[in-house]
Amino acid sequence: MYNNLKKQHPGLALKERIWVAARASYRDIFAGLMESLKEFDEGAYSWLVNHTYPKEWIRSHFRTSVKCDILLNNLCESFNSTILDARQKPILDMLETIKFYLMVRMEKKREWIKKYTGEICPKILKKLEKNKLAANDCIPSHSKDGKFEVRCMYGDRYTVHLISRCCSCRKWGLNGIPCAHAIAAICDIGEEPEKFVHDCYSKEAYMRAYEPMISPMNAEQMWKNSDMPPELSPENIKLPGRP
């Protein structure tokens, strides 16, 4: 999206502003950031309004049910770079190379998680620790039934509801990891923040994800002959634009 925008609206300062807006976790703060972006570069603002869908690039518009706040497609990029060699091969060799890679990788993951003694996956614990540090700057006040008002440094104030596991900053809902405000409230009732991390980050969930097995395969000379006609390659169609 930014690569398209920068053709007409280049500049590092604008890029930074767009990143800040994309990371905004709730709508009111996003609206304010967009207003200041409009003052900074009205053309870029209009381009964003007319050419993009907020639910595709701004955290404040992401659904909280999916527990994913990722803004980049690095996941696909790294898979793509892994299969780069395989992609140069004819189709059967390509599929076999990818299949072999996944078979070995999934078993490695299964072996690793079996030995892991924690209940929550390590990268998530790291994020939680970071939020715990930030929670030191938050002062929680219990209203009733697990509802808190949390005041932070610099005058920020949020509402946390422990029973429905949400904070008005929306970060807890977006990624399932208690935000600093939520952690302040959780510690106030003498509970452990780890207990409030979403189940999708548990050791059990990880094991379930890697449970399916990819079977080993014999070499091609041991494959059964088929009486079907051989598969033909698709017709080569020249598409418009860059080949």
Those residues with Cβ within 8 angstroms of residue 115's Cβ, 6 or more apart along the chain or in another chain: none
Question: Does 184 participate in binding Zn ion (rule CB under 5 A)?
Answer: no
Cβ of residue 128: shortest distance to Zn ion, in angstroms?
13
- Residue by residue, DSSP assigns 11-50 as -HHHHHHHHHHHH--SHHHHHHHHHHHHHH-HHHHHHHHH
Please tell me what DSSP assigns to residue 99.
H
Binding flag, residue 179, Zn ion (CB under 5 A): yes
- Under rule CB under 5 A, residue 17 binds Zn ion: no
Torsion of CA 77, 80, 82, 84, to 10 degrees: -130
Q: Is residue 9 close enough to count as binding Zn ion by CB under 5 A? A: no
Interaction between residue 186 and Zn ion (CB under 5 A)? no
Tell me if 181 contacts Zn ion by CB under 5 A. yes
107-146 footprint of Zn ion as x/- string (CB under 5 A): ----------------------------------------
Can you read off the two tokens belonging to residue 138? 């938050």
Q: Which stretch binds Zn ion (CB under 5 A): 65-73, 171-179, 206-214, 225-233?
A: 171-179
Residue-wise burial string across 87-107, b where 16 or more C-beta atoms lie within 10 A, e elsewhere: eeeeeeeeeebbeebeeeebe
CB of 31 to Zn ion, least distance (A): 18
When binding is defined by CB under 5 A, the residue of 169, 174, 185, 197 that contacts Zn ion is 169
Nearer to Zn ion, 5 or 167 (CB): 167
Dihedral sign, Cα of residue 210, residue 171, residue 17, residue 35: positive
Q: Applying CB under 5 A, does 162 fall inside the site for Zn ion?
A: no
Give contact residues for Zn ion (rule: CB under 5 A).
Answer: 158, 167, 169, 179, 181
